[in-house]
């Protein structure tokens, strides 16, 4: 089963100084933090803030290619969490044929924002991520989730990329 999510915001992990994309359940209170690279976070932030660039960025190029090929993006799905790595699939349709494309979640999310398609997370990923804890000095997943659920709009604004 898939849970529809929305991108709630971007913030910096105070320990690792790596960007985190915060996905939030559109019909509930579940949140899913996904650590991403700086460049990928920048691509997401540019689209969230509707910043236009003088030349197409990579995800803009992908959108333009898909449009040129008369291909629609139906949805993106974060499908798996394996060994602390998230996996995603981009679902496309062209000429009545449905195609699934393996993707990093950060790229799938950046594209989803550009083509305005729904974002989903597999229910098992949400359950697995709630049980996951890291052995290093990071917060546990439950502690981080509680902290993230308590954030408001002003808190998210403090961590702009």
Helix (H) or strand (E) holding 128: helix 123-131
Q: How many CB atoms lie within 10 A of CB 91?
A: 18
> Is residue 158 pLDDT above 70, yes or no?
no
Residue-wise DSSP of 74-126: EEEEEEEEETTEEEEEEEEEETTEEEEEEE-HHHHHHHHHHHT--EEEEHHHH
CB burial of residue 96 (10 Å; 0-12, 13-18, 19+): exposed
pLDDT of residue 20: 94
Q: What does pTM read for this prediction?
A: 0.81
> Is residue 156 pLDDT above 90, yes or no?
no
> Is residue 36 pLDDT above 90, yes or no?
yes
Q: Which domains, ranges and CATH numbers included, belong to the chain?
A: 2-157 (3.10.690.10)
When the pLDDT of each residue in the chain is averaged and rounded to a whole number, the result is: 87
């Amino acid at each position: 089963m898939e849970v529809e999510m929305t991108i709630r915001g971007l913030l910096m992990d105070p320990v690792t100084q790596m960007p985190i994309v915060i996905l939030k359940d559109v019909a509930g209170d579940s949140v899913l933090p996904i650590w991403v690279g700086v460049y990928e976070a920048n691509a997401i932030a540019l689209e969230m803030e509707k910043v236009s660039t003088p030349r197409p960025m990579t995800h803009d190029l992908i959108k333009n290619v898909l449009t040129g090929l008369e291909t629609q993006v139906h949805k993106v799905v974060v499908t798996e969490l394996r060994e602390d790595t998230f996996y995603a699939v981009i679902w496309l349709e062209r000429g009545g044929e449905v195609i699934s494309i393996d993707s990093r979640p950060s790229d799938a999310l950046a594209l989803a924002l550009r083509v305005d398609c729904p974002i989903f997370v597999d229910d098992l990923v949400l359950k697995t991520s709630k049980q996951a804890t890291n052995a290093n000095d990071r917060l546990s997943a439950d502690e981080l989730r509680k902290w993230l659920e308590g954030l408001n709009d002003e808190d998210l604004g403090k961590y702009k990329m």
